[in-house]
Amino acid sequence: MANNIKKNLTRVQQEYKELAQSVEPPRPILKNFIRAFIAGGTICLVGQAIQEMFVHWGGFDEKKAGDPTVAVMILLSVILTSMGVYDKFAQWAGAGSAVPVTGFANSMASAAIEHQSEGMVLGVGGKMFKLAGPVIVFGTVAAFAVGIVHLLIKGGGGS
Confidence band of 1 (pLDDT split at 50, 70, 90): very low
Cβ within 8 Å of residue 123, ≥6 positions away: 115, 116, 117
Residue 2 lies in a domain: no
Q: Indicate if 145 and 69 belong to the same structural domain.
A: no
- Higher-confidence position of 43 and 2: 43
Question: What's the total number of domains in the chain?
Answer: 2
Predicted confidence (pLDDT) per residue in 51-91, tens digit: 999 999 999 998 999 999 999 999 999 999 989 999 899 89
Q: Distances from the Cα of 10 to the Cαs of 3, 4, 5, 16, 18, in angstroms?
A: 13, 12, 10, 10, 12
The answer to whether position 90 is within a domain reads: yes
Q: Are residues 39 and 112 in the same domain?
A: yes
Q: What is the pLDDT of residue 6?
A: 55
User: For residue 151, is it within any domain?
Assistant: yes
* Same domain for 35 and 110: yes
Classify residue 1: in a domain, yes or no.
no
Instruction: Residue 132: give the domain boundaries.
Output: 128-158
Give the CA radius of gyration of the chain.
22
- From CA 156, how far away is CA 159, in angstroms rounded? 9
Residues 99 and 72 occupy one common structural domain? yes
pTM over 0.85: no
